[in-house]
Structure 1
Amino acid sequence: MPRNKTHVKTAEELVSALSSDRARLFAFLTFILCVFALGGGSRDDIQSLIILRPLAILFCAYAVIQCNRRILALHKMPLLLILALMILMAVQLVPLPPAIWTQLPQREIYLEIALLMEMEQHWRPLSLAPTKTLNSLFSMSIPLATCLLFIIQTPESRTRIMPFIAVLGLVSGGIALLQLLGSPNGPLYFYDITNNGAAVGLFSNRNHQAIFLASVIIMLAWHFSVIGAGRHPSTLSLLAITLAVLAIIPLILVTGSRAGILVMLVAIFPCAYFYYAAVRRKNRRSADKISKNRKLIIMGLAVAFLSVIALAFVLARAEALDRLLNTRFFEGIRANLLPVLWQMAKDYFPFGSGFGSFQHIFTRYESLELLRPNYLNQAHNDWLQFLIEGGVAAVFVAIALLIWISAKTIDVFRNTRAYSGQRRLVIANLSILGVMALASAGDYPLRVPIIMMVSTVSLCLLGSLERVERRSVKTG
């Protein structure tokens, strides 16, 4: 009997330990590490996904056990949007009777082939590539786990997530620098299909590395403003963050990504705002001290910035600038692809072709002008691909997301009780999401697990403002 009591007590202690705030934060940070280690590619045949997705489902189960109705009610919108997208994918996998399936847009050719071959018509799902749609459904385990793990965190723990991601961004940048110094086929390239010789870091694609680093700049600048707003800001910490930002800018240049340099230029604007807000606040508190050290700090930062820029140009000869200024950029396949993509969207409207099916249906539209030695596995315009594959239902999900983000933003900026920290957090996350949305017009960053996770964190941080706002109103 005493032994049974000991076992019960040990089990209770274990459950209590797993439910603690520290354990929840540790679980979230561990999950983020797993995503960075295993989720740097967008392809569905990457072997690491066999490990990452089951892990994500396990983390989902852990988070669900820790959740309760009150927590879910406070942060329901990001979760509902993710679930809505997953339900849409699941619906696309439901078999339909031949009488309905054959009436769907662009199914006539399949019916003609079946009739010519005298094949019997079976029940088929709406998706024209069911295995790819199933893969898309399982890929949603990453944002779902991210959202659930975020929900169970305390407000204090949530403030540590973005700096942690920024540190991992610096790690990816450091690996990218080592890749430039080493062999194009060396062990620091973690994916079989990658941009060998380019600074891809933890990713398989140079564009995705550059886009992610652009978002890291915003994270670091936001963290600079948070530290600068403190009562006793550490000058050393502020200097370290500034040097990190200055180091990332040339790391984006050396990726050779045109998309990266364009979104970096956009990201500089919110960064400038954060620095201005922090310096202005600090000047109010210690104007004499700042004015004395300002010249030394500016000179040190200028020397560091110019040194890193020079190193970047020596290592990669500013490949991104060369490619951006190359006139052939405007004559490439993506410019010729837009009319075809729009035609595909109209042809498969309103039901869509099924998530993940683009590669299979594009061959019907591929003209001689679009033929290349390499096949096109994505549309390189995620906005149009989302419409092509998801149809009108996907549009409704996107509109709901935009309405919710707009409402949250307006609420914070119209609320006179909302303090400046809330507004800066809104600007930071809107900027990160804006960078991803802009990049999606010419690429597919949101199909990469790392960037999916980062974007979900930004959405959840916006959602968490509801609770913070109510608290601030209460405490006056």
Structure 2
Amino acid sequence: MTFLTGAARQGAPPKRAYLAIALLIAAFLFGGGARPDITSLLLLRPLSAAALVYALWKYGSLFWQERWLPGLVVAIVLLPVVHLTPLPPAIWSELPGRGVVADTFRAAGMALPWQALSMTPIATLNALLSLMLPVAMLLLCFSLDKAQQASLLRAVLVVGMLSGLLGLLQAIGSPNSPLYFYRITNNGMAVGLFANRNHQAIFLACLLPLLAAHLSLISARQETVIFQKTLTIVAAVFLIPLILVTGSRNGLLLTGLAIPAAFWIYRAPLAVGRGIEMSSVRKLSFSAFVTIGAVMVALLVFASLRAPAFDRLFTEDVSSDLRWTSFSALMHAAGELFPFGSGMGSFVEIYKVYEPYNLLSPNYFNHAHNDYMEIWVTGGLPAILIVLIAAILLLSTLRLAVRPDQRMSSSRDDLILLRTGVSVLTLLAIASVGEYPLRTPSLAVFAALAVGWIVSVYRRAYGQKVPA
């Protein structure tokens, strides 16, 4: 519990803090895959709906007090709602890219029916339902005070370390091990709690700024500070080879960006109160560091010999990767479907229409592996505008985090949380150029937490209060 409660100096957290942690754990246990047909969604979706209803009922008024965030969230939710709105045949059949659908009805001898703007309404409905979980977490995060949000940050670290250890066991063990939680996954790779090794690597890289924040937020006796420093250093040293074991180039790139972000966030932890004699504590910490480090290094060396991930990092031809060779086809699809797009969540079916013959294979392309391109194809101009607004807001927040004004810099802990949230969102935004991390429910919740940290800092700095 010491790791989870580090900086908290208040009484017992309210029930909403436990609810937020429970929702976080559920997201990572049941939401590690981006496919719409994973069985665990049968559990996660009802939990998401219940949490969203509760959060809106209890904390919706707090959400509407914000200036820009409600509009952005409503726009994100309304986009798939608009895509699901039925249109008369005279309208939808004339929209860009809908000719293939109209021709299919005519070839079957059927009259054109009323049709949603989305070319695949079921997939768009799934995209709409997937928003319940991150919005619920966002509202719950708003309701927490600074110490409780720090505890939630540490809960993410605990989940991340467990995912990393699980990935190590997967790399050491059999490709058909029951430790793989998803039917369609990267067997033989270190995927952890995810179905995709790239998402595992992205998540682990994002933990480096969180480790810096965890250590910076500690205010405790000197012996506790020394223990936490040792624990944090061991965790950070352990994370980097764990990312290498995944074999993800995206994860390797993010690690190179996450390390300077961690140093940017870090502030020396505060030692308070009278401490005990330090020599024994330092000796114990050093012994623990050496012992744990030696065990971890041995396991990682063994994993590197067993897993094919390391070879992939340096031998696989990047130019043959489908995410690059399909780019021209995706550009063509985006142009033909502009400005309305094909409908949120419709990528799999739409890509089949535009897939070049030379790229046909027994495997289907589940996402564009470039989320900005996929958003352009499926969401059209409205989705691109939403992304641009979000990018402008993130850049504005980044500028304030780099050069905080007097009110923002008055609270040391708030500035740490602000920089952590900005770092996580920036890393996820960069990762989305070559992957689709936010299509995974657990990483969408992680991003919602980062937004919650940022907006809560703004609220505390500029006068709004957390509810009792």
Q: TM-score, normalized by length of structure 1?
A: 0.86
Residue of structure 2 in register with 1:416 after alignment: 406
Q: Which runs of 5+ in 2 are unaligned?
A: 1-11, 272-276
Query: Are 1:173 and 2:164 counterparts?
Result: yes
Deviates more, 1:137-146 or 1:114-123: 114-123
Q: 1:91 to 1:471 in 2, by over 3 A?
A: closer
Q: 1:189 to 1:384 in 2, by over 3 A?
A: same
Residue of structure 2 in register with 1:122 after alignment: 113
Residue of structure 2 in register with 1:407 after alignment: 396
Residue of structure 2 in register with 1:368 after alignment: 357
Helix, strand or coil for the counterpart of 1:377?
coil
Alignment of 1:299-378 (within 5 A): 308-309=296-297, 311-317=299-305, 319-378=308-367
Q: 1:243 to 1:470 in 2, by over 3 A?
A: same
Deviation at 1:32, TM superposition (A): 1.1
Residue of structure 2 in register with 1:104 after alignment: 95
Q: Percent identity?
A: 36
Residue of structure 2 in register with 1:383 after alignment: 372
Residues in 2 aligned to 1:330 and 1:147: alpha-carbon distance in whole angstroms:
39
Residues in 1 aligned to 2:71 and 2:52: alpha-carbon distance in whole angstroms:
15
- Which is greater in Rg? 1
Deviation at 1:177, TM superposition (A): 2.0
Which one of the candidate residues 36, 47, 54 is aligned to 2:46? 54
Helix, strand or coil for the counterpart of 2:110?
coil
Which one of the candidate residues 428, 431, 435 is aligned to 1:436? 428
Helix, strand or coil for the counterpart of 2:48?
helix
Instruction: Say which structure is richer in helix.
Output: 1
Residues in 1 aligned to 2:294 and 2:373: alpha-carbon distance in whole angstroms:
40
Letter in 2 for 1:418: M
Which one of the candidate residues 260, 268, 274 is aligned to 1:278? 268
Alignment of 1:215-294 (within 5 A): 215-227=206-218, 232=222, 234-275=225-266, 277-278=267-268
Letter in 2 for 1:450: S
Helix, strand or coil for the counterpart of 1:363?
helix
Instruction: Say whether the 8 Å CA contact 1:75–1:460 is kept in structure 2.
Output: no
Aligned residues: 446
Helix, strand or coil for the counterpart of 1:103?
coil
Q: 1:224 to 1:146 in 2, by over 3 A?
A: same
Helix, strand or coil for the counterpart of 1:417?
helix
Residue of structure 2 in register with 1:41 after alignment: 33
Deviation at 1:118, TM superposition (A): 3.0
Letter in 1 for 2:59: C
Residue of structure 2 in register with 1:203 after alignment: 194
Helix, strand or coil for the counterpart of 1:254?
helix
Deviation at 1:437, TM superposition (A): 1.2
Instruction: Say whether the 8 Å CA contact 1:224–1:274 is kept in structure 2.
Output: no
Instruction: Say whether the 8 Å CA contact 1:253–1:319 is kept in structure 2.
Output: no
Letter in 2 for 1:312: L
Q: TM-score, normalized by length of structure 2?
A: 0.87
Deviation at 1:327, TM superposition (A): 4.8
Report Cα offsets for 1:362-396 as digits up to 9, x if no partner: 11221232122211111111110011111111112
Helix, strand or coil for the counterpart of 1:44?
coil
Deviates more, 1:432-441 or 1:449-458: 432-441
Deviates more, 1:300-309 or 1:423-432: 300-309
RMSD: 3.0
